[in-house]
Structure 1
Amino acid sequence: MASIDFSAEIPQLRSTLSSIEQVTDIDALDAKIADLEKQASAQDLWDDVDNAQKVSSALSHAQSERRRISELDSRIEDLEVMVQLAAEEDDADTLEEAENELVSIHKTLDELEVRTLLSGEYDERDAVITIRAGAGGVDAADFAEMLMRMYLRWAERHGYATKVMDTSHAEEAGLKSVTFEVSAPFAYGTLSVEGGTHRLVRISPFDNQGRRQTSFAAVEVIPLIESTDSIEIPENDLKVDVFRSSGPGGQSVNTTDSAVRMTHLPTGTVVSMQDEKSQIQNRAAALRVMQSRLLLLKKAEEAAERKELAGDVKASWGDQMRSYVLNPYQMVKDLRTDYQEGNPSSVFDGEIDEFIDAGIRWRAEQGKSDS
């Protein structure tokens, strides 16, 4: 096997890191960290718990991003020293260690490079994901639940906080729909490429004749709005219904009418919330998600970019963006990027970073070709 040309690889690593530093704007990042540190040291910080948590989280993420770049610079220097030592002492073990480190640095640089492609207006925001069962009956409802677990496992692998906001269980198995929040830096920009129709092909566990079944689920990803966003909704434009929260099979899990269904009458947009303990909390959560959806709708109408921002997801034939095939062969393939994996089990267990990265790069290329 041909040996690695470190004399070419190391300068390339430095060039890539330099490009990332320019796009990231290190000076601006350092200024942001200094400002957040000043806010975090204020004596009255925890008088407003929500704001304190937001500041602490933002500081932690900014410091982490800065640290990753600084550590990469050090790792490239250490790699160069390692290669020199291996050459001087003709040490095969050190050379192998250097080769492994080169692969690791490339991977980390790739991850940071993808992050630099997230420059949309709302990319830095937390994400709200809604999954709806589409065509395919009970298999589609089961598929919707499988996708929910996939995204929650992905978030868990990365240490991201999640919160299930609303769940509508199907009668036999699975979910009619579910809405949950992912709190992480650039959660919306990262996960927005997952929006669209997902297709599952398998031997149905619900068919007593063991026939192959195709089912669909729609994934919608929207950014969570912040208090600074200007979306005012007149009370007369909202219809609010209250009902009792329920679990699988319609079993009541609440003895009071605490769940909320909010309808925006001019657009027909509907949001349901039943996760919180009280009607007031559910109403506030529903209003926040409603504002997020209407904000996107407003921006889409202004820029004629509705499909790009939220998408018109039909969850049926001819509209799918990714296929999960469990029979007659095993494969998950993204139909936009052509990226595929041969182990659906690992994908459903949350190993979807490669799909997401490929999607972000594909979207960036689409943007270039459209400009």
Structure 2
Amino acid sequence: MATTDFSEDIRALRATYASIEAVSDIEGIRADVADLSEQAGAPDLWDDPAEAQKVTSRLSHRQAELKRLESIASRIEDLEVMVELAADEDDADMLADADRELVSLHKALQDLEVITLLSGEYDERSAVVTIRSGAGGDDATDFAEMLLRMYLRWAERQGYATKVMDTSYAEGAGIKSATFEVEAPYAYGTLSVEAGTHRLARISPFGSADKRQTSFAAVEVIPLMEEAQEVEIPENDIRIDVFRSSGPGGQSVNTTDSAVRLTHLPTGIVVSMQNEKSQIQNRAAAMRVLQTRLLLLQREEAAAKKKELAGNMTASWGDQIRSYFLYGQQLVKDLRTGHEETQPDAVFDGAISGFIDAGIRWRAGQRSQAR
């Protein structure tokens, strides 16, 4: 009976994998890996460091996609062999191992299905995330720091590399803002559903006892561009300020004016970087982020003129997308998808994959309706 049940489950796994494989174009990925590997092996590759970085980054991303697909196919084959051996030898322990692997494979395929929904122009890129505190005083700046830790913990759970690029600390608790990179394939497509306004409701630890406080923080997510040559910024359009990097409580991080703030005068966009070792590195990082924001702004304006975004309900800066309740009912609820969790502590410790997956599926549905 167990073998029959496993056979049905394995057939279902194979059918799901086949549909994912078709959408993913695995042969196209293999061709890209072969072509990029040849380019990466060229002896003169690093004569142009910028191009070399682009090639190696693209190769790394495509190799990761291929490995993810091929490893699941291999695991399905191994599961089938395991079930057959367990049945032949009447091995209950091996059947238990097979059952655990079956559950794990179902989860892996669900995750892979979500990735197939990431088909936006920049979805496969790494991400730059900025968190800013909103209304709510100390509670808001504390909430912003809680969100920063939440996303960094989520990335750590996924095995993604992160790099905090800039942090502006509040005079009281928490942070005014923070910007960090998440370097992983599809980090932008994945995290972009987190963009919007987040609301926290709790008994304030900073005010009068037993007084409920509502506070807000905003999350912005943009793709990390290796190069943004499509946007040329005249020098006269930028004001550059340099200052000394600082940490919590005004403690000096270094003793030179290495931090950089770029202000794009025509749009008012401001980008600050302070966590690199030199002013030159901070300026380069800030310029890359500024170019990316201007590129996206140009494309959004062009799309708006053509009414291409009519009916598209993707999260935006002013949209409240999620509420976190830490008094009475312990609940975190997404207002778009209805997905909710009853363990806020786990959510703030990085357990947000359920929200992200639901958000990606919701966005795909919205895009389908808008077509």
| Alignment TM-score, normalising by the size of structure 2 | 0.90
Distance in 2 (alpha carbons) for counterparts of 1:291 and 1:47: 24
- Please show how residues 118-157 of structure 1 align to structure 2 within 5 Å: 118-157=118-157
- Secondary structure at 1:200 match in 2: strand
Q: 1:48 to 1:208 in 2, by over 3 A?
A: farther
- Please show how residues 40-59 of structure 1 align to structure 2 within 5 Å: 40-45=40-45, 55-59=55-59
Q: 1:60 to 1:291 in 2, by over 3 A?
A: closer
Distance in 2 (alpha carbons) for counterparts of 1:59 and 1:172: 45
1:51 positional shift: 5.8
- Please show how residues 1-371 of structure 1 align to structure 2 within 5 Å: 5-45=5-45, 55-87=55-87, 91-227=91-227, 229-304=229-304, 305=309, 312-314=316-318, 319-371=319-371
Distance in 2 (alpha carbons) for counterparts of 1:49 and 1:36: 15
**1:270-296 CA distances to partner (integer Å, 9 max, x unpaired)?**
111222233222222111111111111
1:220 positional shift: 0.3
Distance in 2 (alpha carbons) for counterparts of 1:80 and 1:326: 46
1:95 positional shift: 3.6
1:334 positional shift: 1.1
301-310 vs 326-335, greater mean Cα deviation: 301-310
Pairwise CA RMSD: 2.6
1:255 positional shift: 3.3
Which amino acid in 2 is paired with 1:313?
A: W
1:346 positional shift: 1.5
Which amino acid in 2 is paired with 1:141?
A: T
- Secondary structure at 2:327 match in 1: coil
41-50 vs 95-104, greater mean Cα deviation: 41-50
**1:121-154 CA distances to partner (integer Å, 9 max, x unpaired)?**
0111111111000111101000101111111111
Which amino acid in 1 is paired with 2:10?
A: I
Which amino acid in 1 is paired with 2:302?
A: E
Instruction: Tell whether the 8 Å contact from 1:296 to 1:309 is kept in structure 2 after alignment.
Output: no
**1:341-366 CA distances to partner (integer Å, 9 max, x unpaired)?**
12111111112111111111111011
Instruction: Tell whether the 8 Å contact from 2:195 to 2:316 is kept in structure 1 after alignment.
Output: no
- Secondary structure at 2:109 match in 1: helix
Which amino acid in 2 is paired with 1:145?
A: E
Q: 1:89 to 1:260 in 2, by over 3 A?
A: closer
Which sections of structure 1, spanning at least 5 residues, go unmatched?
A: none
Distance in 2 (alpha carbons) for counterparts of 1:201 and 1:222: 27
Distance in 1 (alpha carbons) for counterparts of 2:178 and 2:353: 22
Instruction: Tell whether the 8 Å contact from 1:202 to 1:212 is kept in structure 2 after alignment.
Output: yes
